[in-house]
């Protein structure tokens, strides 16, 4: 919390909300053998495949906002579970393309249904998934996600610990 604010800061609330959502999704998809991060990967892959795309790991990392190395780790685990296939991109031998297996498609469809139900419950205070407040909230989140954010570089003078 900041010194000038009597309540929690927006950053703290975003962090709390993100953790609340992650825990809820983890619990909801655990019976399907997935974690929240794995769900994010397979659900995104499902949507991209439905649009006719067979994304590379890098493309999926960019789409989800996850680090490429983490996507690679998740993809290997999901491949071991029989949910996705990883194949070399014929146009770029360094790239790995991802696709859902039949089993992966079935599990992902179930997981999407479970998470959609959870999302409806989560957004009920706004009036539900299709409510005007939800659309406004989504627009605000997109504004924040689209804003560039770089860590502040500390001033070398202020980190020297000098006294006047």
Task: Tell whether the model's pLDDT for residue 157 goes beyond 70.
Answer: no
| Cα–Cα nearest to 48, from 33, 32, 61, 31 | 61
pTM value?
A: 0.83
Structure tokens at 97: 């393309």
Task: Tell whether the model's pLDDT for residue 130 goes beyond 90.
Answer: yes
Nearby residues of 15 by Cβ (< 8 Å), 6 or more positions away: none
Using pLDDT thresholds of 50, 70 and 90, give the confidence band for residue 93.
confident
In this predicted model, what pLDDT tens digit does every residue of 29-52 receive, in sequence order? 999 999 999 999 999 999 999 999
Give the residue-averaged pLDDT of 45-67.
94
In this predicted model, what pLDDT tens digit does every residue of 2-19 receive, in sequence order? 566 689 999 999 999 999
Query: What is the structure's pLDDT at 23?
Result: 97
Nearby residues of 82 by Cβ (< 8 Å), 6 or more positions away: 101, 103, 104
Structure tokens at 124: 């009920």
Give the residue-averaged pLDDT of 87-107.
92
Task: Tell whether the model's pLDDT for residue 159 goes beyond 60.
Answer: no
Q: What residues pair up with 99 in beta bridges, in sequence order?
A: 85
Q: What is the DSSP letter of 94?
A: E
Query: What is the structure's pLDDT at 80?
Result: 97
Nearby residues of 111 by Cβ (< 8 Å), 6 or more positions away: 29, 32, 34, 39, 42, 43
For the chain, give the mean pLDDT: 90
Secondary structure E strands in 30-159? 84-89, 92-100
Asked which of 83-87, 90-94, 126-130, 138-142 is least confident by mean pLDDT, the reply is 90-94
Give the residue-averaged pLDDT of 68-96.
92
The percent of the chain in helix, strand and coil, each rounded to the nearest 5, is 60, 10, 30
Asked which of 20-24, 60-64, 154-158 is least confident by mean pLDDT, the reply is 154-158
């Amino acid at each position: 919390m900041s010194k000038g604010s009597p309540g929690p800061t927006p950053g703290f609330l975003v962090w709390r909300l993100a953790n609340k959502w992650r825990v809820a999704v983890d619990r909801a998809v655990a019976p399907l053998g997935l974690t929240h991060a794995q769900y994010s990967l397979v659900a995104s892959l499902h949507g991209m495949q439905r649009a006719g795309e067979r994304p590379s790991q890098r493309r999926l990392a960019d789409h989800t906002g996850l680090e490429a190395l983490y996507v690679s780790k998740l993809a290997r685990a999901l491949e071991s579970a029989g949910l996705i296939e990883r194949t070399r991109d014929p146009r770029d031998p360094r790239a790995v393309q991802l696709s859902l297996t039949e089993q992966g498609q079935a599990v992902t469809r179930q997981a999407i249904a479970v998470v959609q139900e959870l999302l409806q419950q989560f957004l009920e205070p706004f009036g539900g998934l299709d409510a005007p407040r939800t659309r406004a909230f989504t627009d605000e989140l997109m504004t924040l996600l689209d804003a560039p954010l770089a860590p502040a570089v500390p001033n070398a003078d202020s980190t020297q610990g000098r006294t006047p």
